[in-house]
Amino acid sequence: MKILVVGPGGREHAIVRALRRDDAVTEVHAAPGNAGIALDVVTHSGVDASDPAAVTALASAENFDLVVVGPEAPLAAGVTDAVRDAGIPAFGPSAAAAQLEASKAFAKEIMAAAGVPTAEAVHASDLGTAAGALDRFGAPHVVKDDGLAAGKGVVVTDDRQAALAHAQACFDAGGTVVIEEFLDGPEVSLFVISDGENLVPLSPAQDFKRIYDDDAGPNTGGMGAYTPLDWLQDYTETDAAGLTRNFTEVVVDQVARPTLAEMARRGKPFIGVLYCGLAVTSRGVRVVEFNVRFGDPETQAVLERLATPLGGLLLDASTGVLGADRQLEWSEGYAADVVIAAENYPDSPRRGDVITGVPEAEALDGVAVLHAGTADQEGALVTAGGRVLAVVGTGDTLQEAVDRAYAGVDAISWQGAQHRTDIAAKALRGEITVGAEG
């Protein structure tokens, strides 16, 4: 099986690495890829990932058996539609189905129709409506850019003026906002792979969105993640019929399956991975957001533990043969990743700084370095984006996985490099607790 992975980031590097572990996968290419991906597979750096015609032309010319589209922008642009129209299997939703991420208002509409538990929300296109919604829900205020914002279009603040300013900035840019009630409780990410009818969940993970320790500073695309979540293992909910389900079963039954059924009912079957961003609240599981692709940086940790061959899994989903009872296999132990970001990220990250220490980090036991914003500049590895690298540690315990990830981080440096020092720290201290719904 010959596979093309579309995208330039850390998520795509994790997918490439996992595909290469699949014995049925004979060849992997990436478009455009990055400097790290280019060390592992053939890259097509001149291809625009969001250009449906360019991706389809490459897929046809190189006779790929499967195209895996990583980021949200190419999905919203219709890359998978064009690839499928050319007769090539593609993993990723159509542009119509990708509206689950491209429009938060659309996602809320789908959840309401499907009976999916989520935060109450108001879709606002003017400051008066926004102000009324902020007053209705109270602080903390949650204001989301309705469109794609690479994980950075959400403001959560107690400052009403800051919330209004974010809404106004979105209006000034020609957009709208969704204002929600704040959901208490820890957040969890769960990926669900679907072939349009059947689905299979992956391992829950937790990511860290704020730039600084203790969840301070602005939102980013994600500064680290870990899996599995020991503190979630005993979570159960019991329904009116007396059926008790664990966390993953609750999400599949209450969130993923109804959402996918509603999409199919509307003639927009969802083929790909539905990212369920969830809050485990005092009232039960609630959806914070949907994404329509593997999340970054959770993917770097989750796929590091996946023992099921990834190529066959994604091909089966792409061709409608996932099956109703698909089960996945996982390696024992834990995985954690720490993102190292460029100076001035997330506002205006510096580019072109020379990176050192990656080979030394990769030589450590249980450490992998996945590239996101990197480039090759005359033989030197340099920064080329906001989130530059994700250092993944694996181990028999969560502490060992975290320690290995940070050992890798300590080996790497460049001017202005920054990272959080508290990935999984609350879990390790036993400070995360969730209630069970009876």
Q: What is the DSSP string of 22-54?
A: -TT--EEEEEE--HHHHHHSEE-TTS-TT-HHH
In Å, the largest CA–CA distance within the chain is 65
Domain at 187-318: CATH code: 3.30.470.20
Going from the C-alpha of 428 to that of each of 158, 223, 226, 231, 402, the distances in angstroms are 28, 17, 11, 10, 9
DSSP state for residue 292 in the 8-state scheme: S
**Confidence (pLDDT) at 149:** 60
Cα-atom radius of gyration of the chain, to the nearest Å?
21
**Confidence (pLDDT) at 297:** 97
Q: What is the mean pLDDT of the chain?
A: 94
**Confidence (pLDDT) at 438:** 38
* pTM as predicted: 0.91
For residue 179, name the pLDDT band (cuts at 50, 70, 90): confident
Residue 413 has pLDDT above 60, yes or no: yes
**Confidence (pLDDT) at 437:** 47
**So where are the chain's domains?**
2-92, 122-180, 187-318, 334-428
pLDDT digit string, tens, across residues 144-171: 887 766 555 788 888 899 899 999 998 8
Superfamily of domain 122-180: ATP-grasp fold, A domain (3.30.1490.20)
* Dist CA 321 CA 314 (whole Å): 10
**Confidence (pLDDT) at 99:** 96
Our CA angle for 290, 85, 323, nearest 5°, is 55
Domain at 2-92: CATH code: 3.40.50.20
CATH architecture of 334-428: Alpha-Beta Complex (3.90)
* Dist CA 337 CA 101 (whole Å): 24
